[in-house]
Amino acid sequence: MRRVFISWAIAFVVLLGAFAVTVVAMNATLYSSSGFVDTYLNALARQDATSARELPGVLASEDSAANLLTDGALGELSEIELIGNDVDSDGVHTLSYEYNIGGELAESSFRVVQTGAFLGLFPTWKFESSPLATVAVTVLHDDRFRANAVDLTADDQPTASGGFLVFAPGLYTFDHESTYLEADSVAVPISEPGSVTAVQVDVQANTYFTQQVSNELKEFLDGCATQEVLLPTGCPFGKGFENRIDTTPVWSIATYPDIEVIPGETVGDWLVPQTPAAAHLQVEVRSLFDGTRTQFDEDVPFTVSYDISIDANDKLFISALFS
């Protein structure tokens, strides 16, 4: 009986020791301050925004938009490595990490504090300051833009200065791509929690927009050239004579305008600025003074300028501007 008791006692001591070793190991890894931050960073690396948002201390400000705190808005994050863990007199841990983002090595620091212990054994933690950052986006010449392929509008920002909340660290690429418009990509690496980064998305007319307007303008000018009058109705060119004409005027377009489409003064308004072109006129003219007849066979210079708007169905509305 005594031997059985001793065997059970030894087994209990061994089990207790193993449990103690396990607790110490888990407190040094999974339940440590670094384990807590590792959980956050690994969630970002696997593009799991929900798990990252649910960690204690990841607070979303009501003054900023949370549209980018989603799985689809997260980019690539890899090679995560803890490089420092400092503790101040108040027990706040500042953990520094190195990682690869967008092919470049970068560093971030996170402040965490212990909030208690699970079952009295395993420490629990929270971010002492939120790991989120803010990107304040200004969109020129349109309201729409994309961030990491997520479609957004400038109106999604609660206030002009509120911006969009983003996870730090992260690489966020801002651009615009629509039927007639485009904006060069702006890649913004975010490494500092709590930081505010200003981003400008400069939307311009794309090649297709310019080509479509050019094609419509050419068609319009060709139509004007079919009018057998000196001053074609509703057209940007014409020619007056003090003498009488003896033949039917024949117009053609000698030089089509080489147009560009530029932003107007208001969002959604686009312009073709004053652009030179030339029509060609052939007509026989009789002098009222002596009756002599001469052939007019010359180019007639003119300029064009247009205001353009795009409706919700991507239909262009082009209106002539007269100086």
* pLDDT score of 193: 96
* pLDDT score of 157: 77
- Closest by CA to 271, choosing from 309, 314, 298, 233, is 309
68 within 8 A of 197, measured Cβ to Cβ: no
| Whole-number Å distance between alpha carbons of 195 and 83 | 21
97 within 8 A of 107, measured Cβ to Cβ: yes
Length of the chain: 323
Helix (H, G, I), strand (E, B) or coil at 158: coil
* pLDDT score of 114: 95
* pLDDT score of 321: 86
- Kindly report the CATH number that applies to the domain delimited by 207-320: 3.10.450
pLDDT in tens, the chain (323 residues): 555 545 554 544 444 443 333 333 343 444 699 999 999 999 999 999 999 999 999 987 777 889 999 999 999 999 999 999 999 988 999 999 999 998 999 999 999 999 977 555 569 999 999 999 999 999 999 999 999 999 999 888 776 556 899 999 999 999 999 999 999 999 999 999 999 999 999 999 999 999 999 999 999 999 999 999 999 999 999 999 988 999 999 999 999 999 999 999 999 899 999 999 999 999 999 988 888 899 999 999 999 999 999 988 889 999 998 65
DSSP β-bridge partners for residue 269: 309
Phi, psi values for residue 313, rounded to 5°: -100, 15
DSSP β-bridge partners for residue 169: none
The encoded tokens of residue 185 equal 């990509």
* Distances, alpha carbon 198 to alpha carbons 61, 138, 161, in Å: 17, 8, 10
pTM of the model: 0.83
* pLDDT score of 19: 37
Q: Count CB-CB contacts under 10 A for residue 134.
A: 21
